[in-house]
Amino acid sequence: MDAIEIIRAKRDRGELTTAQIDWVISAYTRGEVADEQMSALAMAILLNGMNRREIADWTQAMIRSGERMDWSMLDRPTADKHSTGGVGDKITLPLAPLVAACGAYVPQLSGRGLGHTGGTLDKLESIPGWRASLSNDEMLHVLRTAGAVVCAAGSGLAPADKKLYALRDVTGTVESIPLIASSIMSKKIAEGTGALVLDVKVGSGAFMKTEETARELAETMVALGTDAGVRTVALLTAMDRPLGRAVGNALEVSESVEVLAGGGPSDVVELTVRLAREMLEAAGISGKDPAEALADGSAMDVWRRMVAAQGGDPDALLPRAAETMTVEAAEPGVLTRLDAYAVGLAAWRLGAGRARKEDPVAPGAGVVLHAKPGDLVRAGQPLMTLHADDTGRFARALEALEGAYAVGPSTAPQLPLVIDRVTP
């Protein structure tokens, strides 16, 4: 086989064979297919798509490029969750210990933020001493100690995906649904979990801007998981406004701890409990309800054990930004709109995110919201507080927020928090 033949086949809207897919993924991982050739193939896939069999073969080929984790030695079922990313989406932080407190093991491999969306590992690294990089043996130790572990994927897990994702990021092919779905699911299937719940975000702050494209992605990923023997379900959830009131690394950790303590914003609590119930159902676990585990402190106990087992101090003070600025309402009324993308971009410009994967983040930077869409506000009332380590960042953040919010006489329609549920 050769790469040009495969590129031409997909360019001309042909269907790639299983053998062609296996060869091109393996050869690209070994360096025998050049980046230029894989770029051309990725663009052909973006433009002409793949059918279900092709996507499944592509996913399996990426899984076979590295190791596959095995948790069969554990005495309880495993369950995991993946979010497609959004603004203020800190759900993994309270969710993993909550599900563990209800009887499942939660091996959660997470990533870092890029652009306007936050990364779970960046958030947790704002806890003094906490480590994201663990060996497989260390992951198993934390699981047995705490019931849940949140860490970075090792270099041996789906290396073809790591190489291909970096290429897609610089060639304008990130948006391809077959490539998004296979990228996510190759890592999640290789992770070895028995049950998987997908949180597919919809709206301005998500990668999927419309319900139609989000549903297509969710259905594709649910099919991939099901075909691979992983019990998989997806929720379509709103990302037209930020989730919760904190956007930024240490700020979101603090809000997550509030949720584990029985408080926190109602939307974060609602989605955390809903996803926990889905994970437990997929894992075949019944008994303790997640709402009870939040109320009785057992989820908080797991959180503290999990953080400590990964070198963190659950009692340590979290980093705080050196400077703050308050944005106030110019007139009284109802906050009718608060654009998630604009808030995420503002947080990024304040130092909470990165433009390149190697860039550092400012752990205390971000935005704290004092009002959400539907809330009554007074003239001069604080709408949000910007946090940064230097005042020079405020001007660019304010530019991002121009036109991002509105106050009017009545509430504007917005997406329901949980839009739909997608099953096999």
Q: What is the CATH number of the domain that holds 23?
A: 1.20.970.10
Q: Where residue 252 sits, what CATH number does that domain have?
A: 3.40.1030.10
Q: What mean pLDDT value characterizes the chain?
A: 95
Q: What is the mean pLDDT of residues 392-407?
A: 97
Same domain for 248 and 370, yes or no, is no
Residue 300: its pLDDT value, please?
98
What CATH number is associated with residue 393? 3.90.1170.30
Same domain flag for 201 and 330:
no
Asked if 224 and 143 sit in the same domain, the reply is yes
> For 327-354, what is the mean pLDDT?
95
Rounded Cα–Cα distance for residues 47 and 176 (Å) = 8
Q: Which of 285, 315, 345 is the last residue of a domain?
A: 315
Q: Give yes or no: residues 145 and 37 share one domain.
A: no
- Please give the residue range of the domain that contains residue 221: 79-154+169-315
Beta bridge partners of 197: 81, 233
User: Can you tell me the mean pLDDT for 47-55?
Assistant: 96
- Does one domain contain both 181 and 240? yes
Residue 256 lies in a domain: yes
pLDDT per position as a tens digit, 261-315:
999 999 999 999 999 999 999 999 998 899 999 999 999 999 999 999 999 999 9
Query: What's the average model confidence in pLDDT over 224-228?
Result: 94
As annotated, the active-site residues are 82, 161, 168, 183, 187
Identify whether residues 310 and 202 lie together within a single domain: yes
Mean pLDDT of 163-172: 86
Confidence of residue 188 (pLDDT cuts 50, 70, 90): very high
Number of domains making up the chain: 3
Domain contains 74: no
pLDDT above 80 (res 355): no
Residue 154: per-residue pLDDT:
83
Residues 331 and 257 in one domain: no
Same domain, yes or no: 31 and 86 = no
Domain co-membership, 129 together with 183 = yes
Task: State the first-to-last Cα distance of the chain, in angstroms, to the nearest integer.
Answer: 35
